[in-house]
């Protein structure tokens, strides 16, 4: 069982919001910069890695029951995005790792992608 704190440590991620969720189980992981993909493919207990940093990403995550988001490449995140995540106690992390390498590290630890079993 992979917990949020395992991913935080692995990616040396900064917890920007939702720090009380560090002991929650991560059921799957995905990656997308497209809101439409997040809406279509997300599942409860899932974390999505993204480069998208505007408040709409938090709104989307909240309506899809995502566990959290990880913003990659150490991107600057709009202050209103962080504020909205905090207002809703939504898990928002940031890592300096790039999308590809961050996904690879998570995959190597054995966590399945959102598409597992669909091959």
Q: In CATH, what number is assigned to the domain containing residue 52?
A: 3.40.1390.20
Per residue in 62-110, pLDDT tens?
A: 999 899 999 999 999 999 999 999 999 999 999 999 999 999 999 999 8
Residue 113 is assigned to a structural domain of this protein: no
* Residue owning tokens 């590290």: 105
Q: How far apart are CA 67 and CA 73, in angstroms?
A: 20
The encoded tokens of residue 49 equal: 């890695």
118 within some domain: no
pLDDT for the residue 115: 61
Considering the domain boundaries, does residue 119 fall inside one? no
pLDDT averaged over every residue in the chain: 93
> Across-strand partners of 46?
28
pLDDT digits (tens, 9 = 90+) for 12-60: 999 999 999 999 999 999 999 999 998 888 889 999 999 999 999 999 9
C-alpha closest to that of 55 among 33, 79, 32: 79
Q: How many domains does the chain have?
A: 1
Domain that holds residue 71: 4-108
Domain presence at residue 20: yes
Residue 116 falls inside a structural domain: no
**Measured distance CA(29)–CA(113) in Å, rounded:** 5
């Amino acid at each position: 069982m992979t917990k949020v704190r395992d991913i935080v440590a692995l990616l040396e991620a900064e917890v920007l919001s939702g720090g009380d969720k560090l002991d929650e189980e991560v059921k799957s992981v995905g990656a997308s910069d497209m809101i439409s993909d997040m809406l279509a493919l997300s599942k409860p207990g899932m974390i999505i890695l993204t480069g998208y940093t505007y408040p709409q990403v938090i709104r989307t995550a909240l309506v899809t029951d995502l566990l959290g988001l990880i913003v990659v490449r150490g991107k600057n995140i709009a202050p209103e995005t962080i504020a909205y995540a905090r207002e809703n106690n939504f898990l928002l992390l940031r890592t300096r790792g790039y999308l590809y390498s961050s996904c690879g590290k998570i995959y190597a630890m054995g966590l399945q992608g959102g598409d597992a079993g669909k091959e």
